[in-house]
């Protein structure tokens, strides 16, 4: 089942300024950046630590590339801050089906491609005590990409 906190997603208005804050304040460095056109975000993954299951834990900084994206709408309504929490799993397909069987709404019928080639799905926040929850099966990571 779930093995770790994969990442915490933080919505921001200015990705570069937010990266600089986390670098200057905590010493976190960018591990990976990308633009996800489908989800309408520009993002940076800041690696916090390695985990015992071979994965890692990250902060995911998310800047919307368009106002009508999910993050853009969320940011307009809520302002900057924690957007979601993501749990790592070796089997996003199996775990999302198991969780669906417990009455929790899974937002995607089939997992989609997420950051760094991962496979992801989301759980409805109304079924998770107000927390948008992501399930992530990480792709093998060979080296940082910028």
| Residues known to be catalytic | 7, 43, 60, 84, 134
* Separation of alpha carbons 20 and 44, rounded Å: 11
Structural contact between residues 62 and 41, judged by C-beta atoms closer than 8 angstroms: yes
Count of Cβ atoms closer than 10 Å to residue 3 Cβ: 14
User: Largest Cα–Cα distance in the chain?
Assistant: 44
DSSP for 47-111? EEEE-TTS-EEEEEEEEESSTTSHHHHHHHHH-SEEEEEEEEES-HHHHHHHHHTTTPPBS-SS-
């Amino acid at each position: 089942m779930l093995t770790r906190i994969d990442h915490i997603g933080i919505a921001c208005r200015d990705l570069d300024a937010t990266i600089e804050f986390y670098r200057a304040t905590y010493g976190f460095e960018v591990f990976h950046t990308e633009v996800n056109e489908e989800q309408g975000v520009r993002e940076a993954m800041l690696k916090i630590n390695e985990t015992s299951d071979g994965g890692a834990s990250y902060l995911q900084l998310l800047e919307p590339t368009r106002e009508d994206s999910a993050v853009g709408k969320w940011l307009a309504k809520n302002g900057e801050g924690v957007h979601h929490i993501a749990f790592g799993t070796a089997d996003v397909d199996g775990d999302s089906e198991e969780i669906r069987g417990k009455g929790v709404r899974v937002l995607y019928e089939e997992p989609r491609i997420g950051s760094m080639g991962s496979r992801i799905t989301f759980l409805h926040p109304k079924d998770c005590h107000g927390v948008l929850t992501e399930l992530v099966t990480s792709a093998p990571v060979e080296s940082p990409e910028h």
